[in-house]
Amino acid sequence: MALLHRYAPSDLSVFGPEERRRFLASGDADPRTNAALAWELLYRLEPDLYDRLVRAEPLHPGILKWLPRSVDRAVEVGAGSGRLTVQLAGRCGELVAVEPAAPLRRILQARLRGTGQEGRVRVVGGFFDDLPAPDGWADLVIACSSFTPEAGHGADAGLREMERCCAPGGLVVIVWPNHLEWLAWRGYRYVSFPGEMAMEFSSLEEAIEIAEVFYPDAVGPIRRSGSPRVPYPVVGHDPPRDVAYKVKPRHAPAGRGPGATSRWGV
């Protein structure tokens, strides 16, 4: 992947002390061999490049229909540049968008201003394992394309924090999950929505430029197609069509048991 050749160990200086503690704990501090580290550097060094990628990856409309239409309070973890945040803002009385990378927070805040939703969302720094929300505060705690089982990017500590912030009977949701078996062992159920999906770029040139960084093996097929619409099989990536979720039990500690009756009927 070209992203692995984009940054060098000298770029790690962009991390603050807390980021270094979380992201360099694995011992592999070379972004040329550690893909997770390369992504973290992307968020901080080239947030606009990441945002261009995200804009080409609209979520399956079934996900937005499936999510609760109205909640009093919600926490979004790893909000990024706002892939889901703008959609959530209109459904929440109060939304806290947690994003570790300051450059992405700035893009998100600008996007919220541009859509007139800045006053509806509180954008804050924070990490999966240390969320700035009280116990049982949110009816919905959600992460979109940000949670992984890896330390520093979610893992069991992150699940515990998401469930801690969630109100009894509320929903903890991971949109576009990976490692489904890992989540299933922790009591998470799975929903996938059918239909063909593709990445939607603004132009063929944009599709090629983004693919050169993130999907270099797809550059040739994209050139030959002559289209800015790129089906997910071309890039070898599952589309954003699914969710993993857990209903927080009403009368049990967070993380225990498969779930309980939900106010959202799921």
| pLDDT tens for each residue of 119-170 | 889 999 999 999 999 999 999 999 999 999 988 889 999 999 999 999 999 9
What's the sign of the alpha-carbon dihedral 125, 130, 134, 140? positive
Specify the domain boundaries for CATH 3.40.50.150 within the chain. Answer: 61-194
For residue 77, the SS3 value is strand
Q: Read off the pLDDT of each residue in 203-215 and give the average, rounded to a whole number.
A: 97
At 42, list the tokens: 């992307």
Per the document, the length of the chain is 266
Taking the CB of residue 50, how many other CB atoms lie within 10 A of it?
22
3-state SS assignment for residue 176: coil
Query: Quick check: 144 and 59 in contact, CB under 8 A?
Result: yes
In terms of Cα–Cα distance, which of 155, 109, 162 is closest to 140?
Answer: 162
For residue 29, the tally of other CB atoms under 10 A from its CB is: 14
* 121 strand-pairing partners: 95
What's the pLDDT score for residue 27? 75
What would you report as the CA-atom Rg of the chain, rounded to the nearest whole angstrom? 18
What is the spatial distance between Cα 98 and Cα 129, in angstroms, rounded to a whole number? 12
Look-up: residue for tokens 């922790």? Answer: 186
- How many Cβ atoms are within 10 Å of 87's Cβ, its own excluded? 14
Residue 151 is predicted with a pLDDT of 82
Nearest alpha-carbon partner for 67 in 160, 166, 140:
140
Choices 3.40.47.10, 3.40.640.10, 3.40.50.150, 3.90.10.10: CATH for 61-194? 3.40.50.150
49-96 per-position pLDDT tens digit: 999 999 999 999 999 999 999 999 999 999 999 999 999 999 999 999
Q: Percent of the chain at pLDDT above 90?
A: 84
Encoding tokens for residue 110? 């600008």
| Mean pLDDT calculated for residue range 88-113 | 96
Residue type, 117: Q
Q: Which letter, b or e, does each residue of 153-191 get, where b requires 16 or more Cβ atoms within 10 Å of its Cβ?
A: bbbeebbbbbbbbbbebbbbbbbbbeeeebbeeebbeee
The arithmetic mean of pLDDT across residues 170-195, rounded, is: 96
Which amino acid is present at 223? R
Nearest in space to 36 (alpha carbons), one of 143, 151, 163, 121: 151
- The helix/strand/coil state of 24 is coil
